[in-house]
Structure 1
Amino acid sequence: MRRIFFLLIISMTTLAGAAFLYILDDAKKDRVNDLTNTAKVIESYYELSFHQWELSLLSLGNRFVEIDDPQERLDYANRAIEVYENELLAFGLSNPQGQVITFTGRLVNDSLPNLRRSKKTRRSFESALKNKGLTLGECYYFDNVSDWILPIRVPIREENGEIVAVNTSAIDYSRMMDELGQFVAGTDYQIHLINNEFNTTQILYPMDKEKYDGILGADDLTYTKLDTLGVEGDAFVISAIHPFSQDDVICASILIDNVDHSLIVSIQKSALIYEVLNRFKFVFIVYLLLAIASVLLYKYLKRNLERSIITLRTERANLKSIIESTSDLIGLFDRNRKLVEFNRAFRISAKLTDDMTLRKGMDILEEIKYKEKLEQFTELFDRALNGDKFQVEIVYPGPKGELFFKATYNPVYSGDQVVGVTFFAEDITEIRNYQKQLEELNAELENKVQERTKELKAKNKELKVGYEKLQSTQQQLIRAEKMASLGILSAGIGHEINNPLNFIKHGAIALRERLEADNHADELNPYFHAIEEGVRRASQIVHGLSHFSRAGDAMDESCDIHDIIQNTLTLLRSRLRDKEIEVKTKFNAERKIIVGNEGKLHQVFTNIIANAEQAIEETGKIKISTKNIEDTIRIKIKDTGVGMNKKEIDQMTDPFFTTKEPGEGTGLGLFITQMIIDEHGGSLDVKSKKREGTTFIITLKCT
């Protein structure tokens, strides 16, 4: 044990030295990878951002070019600032000669600067004239917003490529610094964006504002290269001297192609040494702790070795007691299927089923009584010896019938090698017998349920048919009752109105005769004509109402279709007049008589013409024509209303189907209309399209 202890100390010391070298190399790799990944993430972000700015500013610039009025351009610029709040600080447009023609906050052209004349803007503006896409200008302090800005210029070109204007806008520099701070939060990274064309600094993070004048836009920017540490795709990492601080740094560089800028992410090289020491400090502490622990462990193991042996023997005895206490069968076999260990339940079961006396070292398969099970057990043992852990159900012959066992086979490992198999078996014979009885009861119950279900389905079918008949009868009774009540009411109203009309008519005649005797009739004739015309019209309405409300279901009345249509129009005249609906009639010269029910036919034409009036939203036309075809008369009613689609046409005669708003229709009008036409042996056809009106064609047989 002492020799092992000294070998352990030497091994730990060697491992500590190797760990230091590994930590140094790993820290360098981690820093290189992190710098590279950080540079790639920032480059991807700004490459996408600059591309989005290019698309947005190109679209806005094209809109600017289309606007001639300076004030309108300025308003459009200010609206763009509002849309891109917290991003754009300024927005404007210059001509190809550099003269700014619109800029946020200014309108008078004479007061706007020329980008070619300012040192801050000249180089980037001339570069924008040469480039096809977005150009980043050099950062400078912008008085109008009292902050540092990053100019963005996008040339606006004609289809032939000629530049007609340059969109010149500005991004908040402090906003970009905040973004960069989020990318490298918690690190000491410095981020440097360099304009490759001018070799000047565009962005340097972190940096105090008072240092901007001396650094931003500085020419001849150079990182003194010392060593290349790693290359991954477009990014590479070098050990270099920082051009401003002159510190030894590790930096990752990557090119932002679409704006010809280099992005450099750097950290002081001393940070790498501190990181290695911090990591190794943990290893050194672990080394000391392990050394102390090894000494203590050596003493502890030496003192407790004998005690552990005693404990192991006790635990083995306890384990033997546990496996003997269960009623499940437990056995342990080696790779050759020799029995190593077993419990009392296994011994009793083997004696009961195979009259076999178990002993350690025996091959059970050689002494098994039921040889037809030999192949099954051999296959299960081989499967477990191949490393498979599984559970199966085994059916085994017994002295009083079949026995059922739920058996579990587990491979026993020594390292990576299977050295044996454990066998656990639970006797589930009683459970299986109960399950069998339950299945028989379930089958019997299922048969009874199926029989009862058939009976219920038959009863449900009978009830459904009866319910449908009851619904149909109920609806017919409701309609019949409503129509009967309407007929009685209409007849009473007609009778009551006729009496006062007669009084008015006869009173007017008597008054006229009296005035004629006094020679005053001529000057009052216009008033008498008005009274007579009013009485005549009211009589027509009452006459039409009496036809519409005629009671009875007799189908042997002589019906003049032309009179019926005229009566209907008389009743609906006020509704048609209120909507300024023009009604045109074109009747066949030869009148034909229909044998049927005059009141019901009045109801047919009232429903159809009323629907036509309701389908016309404001003003429109209704055309009614009749044509005699052999022994039939065809009535065509065409409106200029909203029309119907195919689905609505198919459902229009269904009871309670309506296209009107709730409370405006019952959905029974066309249903009753179809029923009356069928009762008269006629037909109803409909042609309609949405927003093109509807045509109803009724065909009835004549006498």
Structure 2
Amino acid sequence: MRLLTYILLSCTALALILTLIQLSWNVKEDIEHVKRNLTHIHPVVLKPLATNLWSLNHTKIENQLKAMISLSDMQYVRVSEFDKNGNEILVNEQGLFKKDFAISETFDLIYKNKAIGTLFVATSLDSVYSHLIKRSIILLFFQMIKTMLVSFCVLFIIYYFVIRHVNKLAHYTHTLQLHEANSDLVLDGKAKKSTDKNNELDDLVNFFNKLRSRIFEELTKKEAAIIALQQERDLSKSIINASNSVICYLNPNFSIESINPAAVILTGYSQEELYKKNWLSIFSLPKQHISLLKKLTRNEPIQNLEIKMQDQLGETNTLLWTFSAIYEGMDIKYLIGFGHDITAQKHVESKIQRLNDELEEKVEFRTAALTESHKKITKTLTQLRNTQQTLVESEKMASLGELVAGIAHEINTPVGISVTAASFLADEVNDFQNKFNDKTLSRSYVQKLMPRLNESCLLLNSNLKRAADLISSFKQVAVDQSSEAYYLFNLSENIEQVVLSLKHKIKQKQSNIYIECPDDLSIFSVPGSFIQIYANLIINSLEHGFDDWQADRNIYIDISLKANRLHIDYRDTGQGIPAEIAQRVFDPFVTTKRGSGGSGLGTHIIYNIVTQLLHGDIQLLESEQGVHFHISMPHQTQAIS
């Protein structure tokens, strides 16, 4: 109805304007016609009037004026003569005199080339205006009829070709369920998926159908992504809960927000009792509180920090702690602490040291009784070997703890971004649902919404894929490191997994690793042994070679196959190994970090793996800068029968 009103008003206004223009033109033509009639009087009337005026024939003059006044549109005529002084004297007049006439004209009466008087002629426009009024009524009547007919025709055309389709589109939109697969919208009288002679409405319907399908696909993908994210969360939670190391989340006040079951076993407190407790009061001794508080408040990375604590039974334990910060802007939101129990290792080290001291004393002071003490020494050596094996296993677990810390830090970023993207998608969907329910949904809003949804979905997908790749790599490394099974594996992928697991530690040390290895080089061996070799070499470079080192921090690993032997060339640009240690670098308990968490078993483990398990050899080569190890071993691609 509103559209009809607008059409009628527009057509009426247009008809009025056209009528006024036509009437104005007609009035102008009529006035021009009257003027032309006055002009025609000149050659017909002036000469006879001049002759009659000269001959003073007033009767003929009067008759001529009466004849002129009887003409159409003529209102007043007058003849005057000039006296001796040139003044006009009225001779005769016909009609009604007015001060102002619509159209008037004065003509000179000339007799024998001499002006003897004047003729004044005036016309009226009453007939013009009367004719104008009649014509206006007729024109307006027909214009109104034409306007009504045109308006109804236009309205019918608009309804048939536009409004009925818009109504169907509105009804389809109101009944549309975005979470369900709906049939495509097809306009009345239109073939489904027809592309011949499409108009704007057809293009709009096609776009609407594509948009509906895309929204349905995006919502489906979003639900799948949420499920995948929940699975990743469950997997991460399972890994944390199954870890033997203490893993806890601390707020900026160092209160415990979350902690895994390993802490319950270690401290004797339940998880509920540990919740909101200050970390310092649980996992450190009172005399260490001030120094630890200073270190924790510096916002600096803390790694491999030995801290002693007492459990509920009063027993003292030693944990090796590493902390990683989660930032919100420039402020720390959470601290993630990884505590590995090295109490047994410390006890073993202390016992070994004590045994070594006792052994030296026995060698010095009881040389004469060597034969009698042979059984005791043999027993001591057996204990040393067992202790050494225990330390080797502890070193492996410490290495795995390093991998866990690194992978947890790497997973944190994509998971955080994914949570943010998922929250943004939820907000956008809620806003879209509200607009849809309020019926305020517009095309411009949807056009702006779609790029944002697409960008958020891409961001969510890429970061979840990155987290999945990290977890997959960590799972492979963890399984390989704990297994001594033989199978064919790719050497390039093997070392890339180790580098990826230690990426966080490498980044903290501001170091670079350059690897040269053919992509197709594979070997039938124990992949976990290679992982242990690479991990120990890289960690030694980071912890020893680059400690307080201000020059380049580069690690070069070159893996090649020559003469059916595999060669691994490892070197770094750090501070190298002191000369007094280089000669016994493969001996057990040789370290430059004794008392700071170093066990001195890293290179000893590498030596045993290379020489005993892999049947190869390892050498420490002289280098102008840093360390240079060369490993070679037999190469095989299948099991030896």
Asked whether the two chains share a fold, i.e. TM above 0.5, the reply is no
Structure with more of its chain in helix, by fraction:
2
Structure with more of its chain in strand, by fraction:
1
| TM-score bracket relative to the smaller structure | 0.3 to 0.5
TM-score (norm 2): 0.33
